[in-house]
Structure 1
Amino acid sequence: MKKIFGVVLMLIGLSSYSQTENTVTTEINKEIKNPLTKKGQVFIFYGWNRAAFTNSDIHFSGNGYDFQLDNVVAHDRPTKFGLVYFDPSWFTVTQYNFRLGYFIKDNLALVLGIDHMKYVMDQDQTVKFSGHISDPVYAGTVQNGQVNLADEKFLTFEHTDGLNYENLGLEKYRSLSNSKNIDIVWGYGGGLGVMFPKSNVKLFGNERSDRFHVAGFGTDLRTSLNAVFWKHIMLRVEAKAGYINMFDIKTTLNNKPDKARQDFMFGQVMAGFGYTFNTKK
């Protein structure tokens, strides 16, 4: 009887050990099968974007003028696809995106981002004008409360080096599917940051203003779909919508108080590749 009791205890012990071992194995497998979800995870991403902007009112002020152009139309300016997209010495020419993410807790990442968009005012348009210009030459271009921008003499206006949105965001991640070599992870969140454009502006035939300057702020909501291959190689597609307010756009090269201001909504779709790894064992 004692022998039988001893055998039973031994079997119970083996069963308990087996269950514990299976639990540990399951947890290890779960850890392996969930990239972009664990505390201590890091990812680095680089990609390219297309962007769209709502029409905006642009207000210009300076010595001898104070006026507004209403409902101005603008578009992005993507670089023609070629080797320039993969040459590190030319990476700022394209409309690019950079991300550095760190998971501060499971499923939640703090993400530093640079969105290098390009904003170009359509030249072939006539817009509503309100305000005053003291220079009779340029005041004379205003007809019936409107001004035609097509000849480029009145104004050229773009943020092409570029419309730089430097932002910090929080992103929540959720694993959608896992297999041996590929994991699909959904992310969503929001961000806030500063606008640091290099605006190319030429107003009234003055020398073109072309310099980096903190001009305002931006905020956004974003969502992404991530495919992670072999636990490290990442492909990412992201959509983003947000608001930009630039209240201090430099329009001259000197220290005069000349400036412009505008605000608008933007949308962006970007795609690219990255690498992810876990800093914690």
Structure 2
Amino acid sequence: MKRLLVVGLMMSNFVFAQKAKDTLVVKDFDGSTAPVRKQKPAPLSKKGQIFVFYGWNRAAYSNSDIHFSGDGYNFQLNNVSAQDRPTKFGIVYFDPSWFTVTQYNFRLGYFIKDNLALVLGIDHMKYVMDQNQTVNFKGHISDPQFANRVENGQVNLADEQFLTFEHTDGLNYENLGLEKYKNLIHKKNIDLVWSYGAGIGFMFPKSNVKLFGNERSDRFHVAGMGTDVRSSLNLVFWKNWMLRVEGKAGYINMWDIKTTLNNKPDKASQDFVFGQVLAGIGYTFNTKKYN
């Protein structure tokens, strides 16, 4: 065989190569040369690669039982429904000074080995209790003004006098996940990469709670933990730019939700299942240029 294998020549240091934009020139034993094409780098695959991502989400929540305790009360509201609160589309989605107003997502991923990434994520969701609902009540309230609002084991929340309850700045899930990546399409100008994985993290909400007409509680606080499973499709184009669509389902348990502005022991707790769909744009840093 006249022609040496490219890999063998490169490793033996008996290669006489001339760099071109996308080719290697390899010299044979007879002095002739032949071009060997370099392969396009595969995004989201190699150990040491990094990606960043920013996008926006819609979320949905299961009904939950919310337990309240404090001086003069200890009760639970059962089967409470809630929704997210997406911001109306406009310049606010692209103005950096207003980015926390929207339901946003951030990702920073690092490939700890081929096709396996460690991903730091911030999921800024919003959770708003439906105000127009009547829920089951269990427990006691010593203040007769609010105890009298309970009728036949139920309380109507519609007039906002008994309770308003939100995590709107927001339901912040700070998480760390492992994601496995698989390249589905690898063409000259485009790649399609699928990923799946799971994550765990802590809940850092800024809860907006007003109970019994007291001063509103509205401050950041580590309230509990969450866990999730997720899957995404990543369309990589122009070598480094990425469009990402991700679906996620998980469980949140917050056992220390602050309901007052002071250091009183008043608090609430709840747990629920959530689902989330997000989309946005990212950028990949391929630290290894060629396969």
Give matches, 1:106-125, under 5 Å: 106-125=114-133
Whether 1:137 aligns to 2:149 is no
Long gaps (5+) in structure 1: 1-11
Q: 1:21 to 1:237 in 2, by over 3 A?
A: farther
Whether 1:16 aligns to 2:14 is no
Whether 1:175 aligns to 2:183 is yes
* Secondary structure of the corresponding residue to residue 3 of structure 2: helix
Cα deviation code 1:53-109 (max 9, x no counterpart): 000000000000000000000000000000000000000000000000000000000
> Whole-Å Cα distance in 1 between the matches of residues 6 and 203 of structure 2?
58
Cα deviation code 1:164-189 (max 9, x no counterpart): 00000000000000111100000000
Residue 86 (structure 1) aligns with: 94
Residue 253 (structure 2) aligns with: 245
More divergent stretch after superposition (32-41 vs 20-29): 20-29
* Secondary structure of the corresponding residue to residue 142 of structure 1: coil
> Whole-Å Cα distance in 1 between the matches of residues 85 and 190 of structure 2?
34
Give matches, 1:201-216, under 5 Å: 201-216=209-224
Long gaps (5+) in structure 2: 12-22, 25-35
* Secondary structure of the corresponding residue to residue 91 of structure 1: helix
**Cα pair 1:180 1:230 within 8 Å, conserved:** no
Residue 44 (structure 1) aligns with: 52
Q: Following TM superposition, by how much is the alpha carbon of 1:279 offset from its aligned partner in structure 2, in angstroms?
A: 2.8
Amino acid at match of 1:230: W
> Whole-Å Cα distance in 1 between the matches of residues 187 and 57 of structure 2?
29
**Cα pair 1:33 1:178 within 8 Å, conserved:** no
Q: Following TM superposition, by how much is the alpha carbon of 1:22 offset from its aligned partner in structure 2, in angstroms?
A: 10
> Whole-Å Cα distance in 1 between the matches of residues 100 and 188 of structure 2?
37
Cα deviation code 1:20-45 (max 9, x no counterpart): 4699978951xx34100111110000
Q: So what's the TM-score if we normalise by structure 1?
A: 0.92
Residue 154 (structure 1) aligns with: 162
Q: So what's the TM-score if we normalise by structure 2?
A: 0.89
Amino acid at match of 1:271: A
Cα deviation code 1:249-281 (max 9, x no counterpart): 000000000000000000000000010012345
Amino acid at match of 1:166: E
Q: 1:140 to 1:186 in 2, by over 3 A?
A: same
Amino acid at match of 2:76: Q
Q: Following TM superposition, by how much is the alpha carbon of 1:231 offset from its aligned partner in structure 2, in angstroms?
A: 1.7
Q: Following TM superposition, by how much is the alpha carbon of 1:17 offset from its aligned partner in structure 2, in angstroms?
A: 4.2
Amino acid at match of 1:238: E
Residue 20 (structure 2) aligns with: none
**Stretches of 4+ moved more than 3 A in 1?**
17-28
Whether 1:185 aligns to 2:171 is no
Amino acid at match of 2:176: L
**Cα pair 1:156 1:202 within 8 Å, conserved:** yes
> Whole-Å Cα distance in 2 between the matches of residues 120 and 238 of structure 1?
23
Candidates 66, 82, 100, aligned match of 2:108: 100
Residue 242 (structure 2) aligns with: 234
**Cα pair 2:46 2:288 within 8 Å, conserved:** no
Amino acid at match of 1:232: N
> Whole-Å Cα distance in 2 between the matches of residues 69 and 55 of structure 1?
11
> Whole-Å Cα distance in 1 between the matches of residues 106 and 38 of structure 2?
31
Number of aligned positions between the proteins: 267
* Secondary structure of the corresponding residue to residue 88 of structure 2: coil
Whether 1:223 aligns to 2:231 is yes
**Cα pair 1:56 1:71 within 8 Å, conserved:** yes
* Secondary structure of the corresponding residue to residue 214 of structure 1: coil
Identity of aligned residues (%): 77
> Whole-Å Cα distance in 2 between the matches of residues 57 and 167 of structure 1?
24
Cα deviation code 1:175-205 (max 9, x no counterpart): 0001111000000000000000000000000
Amino acid at match of 1:45: F
* Secondary structure of the corresponding residue to residue 265 of structure 2: coil
